Amino acid sequence: MQIEPQAFDRVLSSMCTEPHPVAREAAERFLATNPGDPGTYPSVSALEEEAIETLGEVAGLEEPAGYIASGGTEANIQAVRIARNRVATRTPNVVMPESAHFSFQKAADVLGVELRIVPTDETHRADLEAVRSSVDEETALVVGVAGTTEYGRVDPIPELGEIARSVDAMLHVDAAWGGFVLPFTDYEWHFGHAPVDTMAIDPHKMGQAAIPAGGLLARSSTLLDELAVDTPYLESTSQATLTGTRSGAGVASAVAAMDELWPDGYRRQYVRAQNNAEWLADALEKRGYDVVEPTLPLVAADVPRSTFDALRAKGWRISRTGTGELRVVCMPHVTREMLASFVGDLDRLEVRASVPVASDD
Ligand code: 0PR
């Protein structure tokens, strides 16, 4: 096979990153292991327990239950599934802000629950009044996002918890992207801050593990039991995961990355990424663009479509928010030099755009 994977030197929109060298090495070593069959692959199974212990530490949960999933999508689907299975009603609903990831649409479709999507306020966070007026006795789950995909915003998690409790619903926090930066901020987002029942927190995003390594955490193993099915021909007796055969590489790389980086390495990474985001926001603002302030390391700015397209044509891997703003995610592989080179390209494009077209006379 001749083809090489892409380089990361122009990747500005991904929520994944180059795995940490120790994560890469662990992934290679554990390629031929399957945590879906703990009776046959006990060492990767033990590693998965370690991964959940550490994820619990990151997310303020002393006795965590959970597993390493294929990603945030699976974790979100499983959280909706737990909540759906716990309510008596035949017509359960899930209330979430419009900023929540599209994986909840998949969850609702697969699981047959009604999705009630409420607006965000002017700070791009869940509008609490709208959430309050959308929940009812058939609400199985309220979703809060801790680090939204488009703007990196953190919903008011404790308040969402109160609303969920007022109707006996569960609270799920989607920290798939934000989970490894939020511990170093003042946000209230985790199990220790609010009555959170389940959480998505992905080592394969800010956690610098290899893909696939998502995380599903639950406050208690009873919650996870809602997902368990019997596995008669395996040595283990039941399975709570969505997929059967799973990636031991993902599990091992998650443990290796977290062993290496939690907490100091992740803290340094957060500070560097946040500084980069603020530098870029400042550079874009100085050039007259409307910038959504980066409260986490993610910058959105109102750059014209033609400029956006020209930057993509130059090889920059950038993406847009639902309303069309340029979106740059300051992941660990994003350096200041990359951002400076990106802004340099932007300047050259804008100069060209402002040069009047030469006339013939
Ligand atoms: N929750 C949040 C808050 C997310 O941002 C994402 C993914 C998910 C859940 C779903 O996670 P998985 O993709 O692991 O299932 N957010 C990014 C997105 O959809 C994922 C992404 C990753 C996109 C890498 C591009 C990319 O190169 O935009």
230 part of a folded domain = yes
Residue 354 has pLDDT above 90, yes or no: no
Amino acid type, 353? A
Environment class of 265 (CB within 10 Å of its CB; exposed 0-12, middle 13-18, buried 19+): middle
1 part of a folded domain = no
Query: What residue owns the CA closest to ligand 1's atom 17?
Result: 15
Distances (CA, A) of 32 to 21, 28, 87, 254: 19, 9, 39, 16
Query: Could you tell me if 121 and 165 lie in one domain?
Result: yes
Give distance in angstroms: CA of 192 to centre of ligand 1. Answer: 25
Q: Is 16 in the pocket of ligand 1 (CB under 6 A)?
A: yes
Is 72:78 a contact under the CB 8 Å cutoff? no
Residue 356 has pLDDT above 70, yes or no: no
Q: Place 337 in a pLDDT band, splitting at 50, 70 and 90.
A: very high
Query: What residue owns the CA closest to ligand 1's atom 28?
Result: 149
CA distance 265 to 288: 35
Q: Is 103 in the pocket of ligand 1 (CB under 6 A)?
A: yes
CATH number at residue 269: 3.90.1150.10
pLDDT of residue 360: 54
247-280 confidence digits (pLDDT tens): 999 999 999 999 999 999 999 999 999 999 999 9
Sign of the Cα torsion 135, 137, 138, 139 reads positive
* Residue finishing a domain among 261, 290, 310: 261
pLDDT of residue 233: 80
Query: Looking at the whole model, is its pTM more than 0.85?
Result: yes
Which domain does 68 fall in, by range? Answer: 21-261
Q: Is 150 in the pocket of ligand 1 (CB under 6 A)?
A: no
Give distance in angstroms: CA of 207 to centre of ligand 1. Answer: 13
Q: Place 103 in a pLDDT band, splitting at 50, 70 and 90.
A: very high
8 part of a folded domain = no
Q: What is the mean pLDDT of residues 281-301?
A: 97
Residue 81 has pLDDT above 60, yes or no: yes
Averaged confidence pLDDT in the chain:
96
Q: Is 202 in the pocket of ligand 1 (CB under 6 A)?
A: yes
Q: Place 291 in a pLDDT band, splitting at 50, 70 and 90.
A: very high
Query: What residue owns the CA closest to ligand 1's atom 21?
Result: 15
Q: What is the mean pLDDT of residues 19-23?
A: 98
Residue 358 has pLDDT above 60, yes or no: no
Query: Could you tell me if 333 and 269 lie in one domain?
Result: yes
Residue 296 has pLDDT above 80, yes or no: yes
291 part of a folded domain = yes
* Residue finishing a domain among 261, 287, 307: 261
Q: How many domains does the chain have?
A: 2
Give distance in angstroms: CA of 358 to centre of ligand 1. Answer: 45
* Residue finishing a domain among 261, 285, 304: 261
pLDDT of residue 353: 67
Amino acid type, 249? A
Distances (CA, A) of 62 to 5, 57, 115, 188: 39, 7, 31, 17
